Amino acid sequence: MSKATELRALLSGDRMVRTVGARDGLSAKLVQEAGFDAVWASSFETSATHGLPDASLLTMTQFLDVAEAMNLVVDLPIVADCDTGFGGPLNVAYAVQRYEKRGIAAMSIEDKMFPKMNSFAATAQHLVSTEEFVQKIQAGKQAQESGDLLLIARTEALIAGFDLDEALRRAHAYADAGADAILVHSKSRNPDQVLGFGARWDRDVPLVAVPTTYPVVSEKDLYEVGYRLVIYANHGMRAAIKGMRATLADLARSDSAAGLEDSLASMAEVFALQNMPAAFQELA
């Protein structure tokens, strides 16, 4: 069974599919170790590892290489964050072909204009027309060699300041164009928008939620209104930044690293995550 087929089976099951963002093979391994169902190959996290804003500055190949690095070292399906699809319909079709060949289970593309800016940035968010995005979805689905890979259509209508009616209008068109799932994004501090969207959803296409700004929502509440995939998109990276900052600040105040040992992962733990052969683990 391919990982894409596995993900489809999970989405048709009777529980929420739990997904966490990662930025490389190591963080993907930690997601798997924690017991989640899938890995979100986050463009936000990947951009951050380059010290760059999430603003379409990296290339498709760079994002694809990161997704493949994750896919090669975990058993979980990879859901790739592909921003706007890297351009127009032809770009989306090419991306689908490349991601599919490398075994990526799902791709998410959003209906913002290229180049995009991160959804939570304090700037205007401009969307392409519904018709143009429908063409992207259709081009992507037609480019698939098999029917396995899932193409997730992400609407940023609520992020751009439109109401639920517009978000639903767009999402209906995307589902009708062949999208395998609909991701509705919101920057509201409470879950009312996404729950209201789900309550009015009337297509047999699963919904995807990303509760970054509304962490109080429960998976149970999301599931009851039609969400089948939840993505904790950047929690691992944010935790890592906070932890590294604290450790490095402690080190900067000290003249040795002795006091840090209890708060650090052991070399043995790192070796295990690297699949280091046992014969080379003497220092652990």
Residue numbers annotated as active site: 54
Of 78, 73, 71, nearest in space to 4 by CA: 78
Distance CA 49, CA 59 (A): 14
* Amino acid found at 26: L
Distance CA 149, CA 105 (A): 5
Sequence-distant (≥ 6) Cβ neighbours of residue 211 within 8 angstroms: 191, 194, 217, 222, 230, 232
Of 54, 39, 52, 53, nearest in space to 84 by CA: 54
* Amino acid found at 118: N
Token match 């304090």: residue?
122
Q: Tokens standing for 89?
A: 């319909």
| Residue 112 near residue 98, CB atoms below 8 Å | no
Q: Tokens standing for 38?
A: 């899938």
Distance CA 251, CA 249 (A): 5
* Amino acid found at 81: D
Q: Tokens standing for 18?
A: 């739990």
